[in-house]
Structure 1
């Protein structure tokens, strides 16, 4: 037996077999799946126990005829069997080798009927030629699916999978090979059940998780191409058009992908999660996807988190509950890391923590998210507060971004009563506002007076800070301010004017004498101007 070129295809017909058996008189008709072949008994019966038995049973008939309706590979493969029985040399493709090996087993062409019979010959050719080559191993594996019962019984499927994995493993550790994705495109030709089996065994055999995850993402993108879109505009249309097989593949993606940080881009995970929520995938799939995004939230962008609500009730424009759960996974993971590493806490800030940078990055990301969703008029104050509270106080080095988000929320929800406004501003740590933010806040008519008064004192401490060294300071534009301060004098003048109002409506203990208030503010103003001149 020899292996032909890649495009080789056997093209035997019935009369070719007859021509190779001219020395014999045809005395049997073999029916293989409706194809009739005139052959001679002797070469067949002397090579196969099954053929010997069937021929013996049909001897009494006037015209000897036998049927092989379930022969693996059908008439085309039986032509190769007949040619082998005549002693001809065969050239086989990988697919034909698998079929012929199964057909030989089906016909019981063992060594009992002659040394070098078809079972041993095809077995040797399969092991020594086909399974030594990547392309042939892959073709053989695809063929196994067509005759899976026979291939499984003969362990051909498993051997093909092990051959492929061995070749991936060897090249994975070959320093001369730069890319690990050389095989991704090839395995797209596998059905999902075979692909899943291949990937599962790869993980057991120690193939790198990065390599496996890359292949899984590549496979899913191929068969679910709309996952790559950042937004799904027509939720109802996608939910209706997605087949059960596609939904199953989406859920299997989660089961196959190793639960490890950074294996696939956050953008891709976000797309999978959006789709999973739209098509109402099983809860465990959605929960795991949220956890995966949470594990690498410091690598996410604002676009990754902007998931439109898929709820029929449409309580909010964006799915803020999903993002809150993602945040919870991230901060829970970093809390464990921080607890296990030596660090101390001073004024709410983590010192010596290796995860401080990711925490700060995520806090900044969430502040941007808060500012974006704050424009949603359907977002209730309680939901907004829950999002704010989900970020630990020590994660923010500055509260400028949070202040900006609260201000945007107040702009978009002008109907909030005074108590609701005060509740929102209690979320701020005024000591963590920059001078720019404090200056903006003192001119912000949306602020409750209690908060404004606290800012007056805080601004004294911030006036000597060089904010150019802090990249997290939020830039406040002129159009953001109800009354833009041109200099410190005008700023404090306006504050003084506001504090001259009657504040009897404030809670007990916070009322300031209307005569003392302006005098205190004037004294603060003088101190502030002295510090500024220095």
Structure 2
């Protein structure tokens, strides 16, 4: 007997389906409410659904269930669409079967779980899809956790770039073992790429909360970013990078390679990511600054900046390192040496402001520097490139040098270096002291000069004593030269002091040769 098709249903404008309203209304409470008494009439009717979950495909599944008198099998491959459609159509018999199927979700296979999540992605307009996705994602992570055949720590370390297996696996057996170990941990990387970024974020949070191996998560994040960037828009790249950074931030630092972080940094600077993620990235890099190289730090400055390198970000890296808690002496010395190399590299930049250069010079504690050779050369280059500095600016830079930490050659070079002479400008308090000093007789001045030199503790070691004496001689020489210059300038100062304004630097004497 031919079934009458007296109900026309438009599904989201995609497809029009013709049904028998008595059959469909027998199961669907939604259609019964919509059609009311018309469900029993003989006239043709039309219903339009604009937001049906899953579109024509899921509507067809529910219709087939109704037409087969509830005999349609519910299985992992169709349960998501069936459940959401049945919820929309209020087909209680379908809902009973879908909920029963979902109770067995822990026993689904990996492909079935992944397919269910892909179907949830297609049901963006359905509120039911969110609750289903949460259950599926939880089951997926649990499945992954127990599917890894080897223990996370041993396998992850085997895949680490620093592992002996990675570095010394020359024979075929060890190489094959390495490949197998990594394959057992990373087989799921490509399969998870089918999920949307929102689902990947949830996936990662669950992995972290379940204490999945942090090294494996880190490797996945870098792999995910690399693959997804190939076809992503700028906005998508920005969100991907922010997700990668925010997740890396909660992982164990030993599982996040410093070199990879600098790669992320260069991408982040070009994409203008949000400030919160950028701060997290800078802190992560700063905490591993002892593992960085000079090339890593030579980050080009932002486009609108005139100087060559991004000095501010290096300042922030170093502050993050120093604020990161107790640091071993070797780590601090590595960072100190690295910063000294960086200072020497950026010193010739004619656009680098003296205040910024001074910040670099005083960035690390002086106790971390065994030598000031690099600092001396950097200051020398900076003064060469910045001939327009004021005497005060030059003085601030030179005051960062420690005479005791310079070699004999550098001391000799400094004494003959014209850039390190005729630069000291006295502040008002010093000027008052020098006026009193200049009024004294030459013998009294010499006594004062000797008293101002630091006391030398005789240690018995001839080399140390020799260095101390050389330091004293250098200081006495500089002070004597300043004194002679003061004597010739005092008369001029006294004449000008009456006409000069308060606080004017023009009346201040200069220590120069």
Residues 41-190 of structure 1 mapped to structure 2, 5 A cutoff: 43-51=23-31, 57-59=37-39, 61-67=41-47, 69=49, 70-85=51-66, 86=68, 96-110=78-92, 117-128=93-104, 132-152=108-128, 155-171=131-147, 174-175=150-151, 178-179=181-182, 180-190=185-195
1:290 equivalenced with 2:282 (yes/no): yes
Of stretches 98-107 and 502-511 in structure 1, the one that deviates more from structure 2 is 502-511
User: Could you tell me the TM-score, scaled by structure 2's length?
Assistant: 0.66
Unpaired runs of 5+ residues, structure 1, are 1-22, 111-116, 228-241, 339-354, 466-491, 493-498, 512-534
Report the equivalent of 1:198: 203
Counting matched residue pairs gives 410
Corresponding residue for 1:524?
none
Cα distance 1:55–1:422, how it changes in 2: closer, same or farther (>3 A)? closer
Q: Pick closer, same or farther for the CA change 1:226–1:407 going to 2, 3 Å.
A: farther
CA contact (8 A) 1:217 1:264 kept: no
Deviation at 1:415, TM superposition (A): 5.7
Aligned counterparts of 2:305 and 2:137: Cα–Cα separation in 1? 48
Aligned residue in 2 for 1:310: 302
CA contact (8 A) 1:294 1:326 kept: yes
Determine if contact 1:131/1:137 at 8 Å carries over to the other structure.
no
* Aligned CA-pair RMSD: 4.3
Give the corresponding residue for 1:330. Answer: 321
Q: Distance in 1 between matches of 2:256 and 2:270?
A: 21
Q: Separation in 2 of the partners of 1:266 and 1:132?
A: 39
Query: How far, CA to CA, are the matches of 1:80 and 1:45 in structure 2?
Result: 15
**1:276-320 Cα deviation digits (max 9, x unpaired):** 455554443333322221111111121221122226352x22221
In structure 2, relative to structure 1, the CA distance for the partners of 1:220 and 1:92 (3 Å cut) is: farther
* Equivalent runs, 1:488-507 vs 2, <5 Å: 506-507=481-482
Question: Closer, same or farther in 2 for the Cα pair 1:276/1:28, shift >3 Å?
Answer: same
Superposition map of 1:264-303 within 5 A: 264-303=256-295
Higher helix share: 2
Q: What per-residue deviation string (whole Å, max 9, x for no partner) do you get for residues 72-101 of structure 1?
A: 223332332233331597678856331112
The alpha-carbon distance between structure 1 residues 310 and 126, as it changes in their structure 2 partners (threshold 3 A), is: same
Shift of 1:243: 4.3
Closer, same or farther: CA 440–218 of 1 in aligned 2, 3 Å: farther
SS, match of residue 507 in structure 1: helix
Q: Identify unmatched segments of 5+ residues in structure 2.
A: 156-180, 425-452, 457-461, 487-513
Is residue 450 of structure 2 the alignment partner of residue 461 of structure 1? no
Q: CA deviation at 1:257?
A: 3.5
C-alpha distance in 1, partners of 2:385/2:353? 11
Aligned to 1:392: 365
Q: Report deviation, 1:44.
A: 3.5
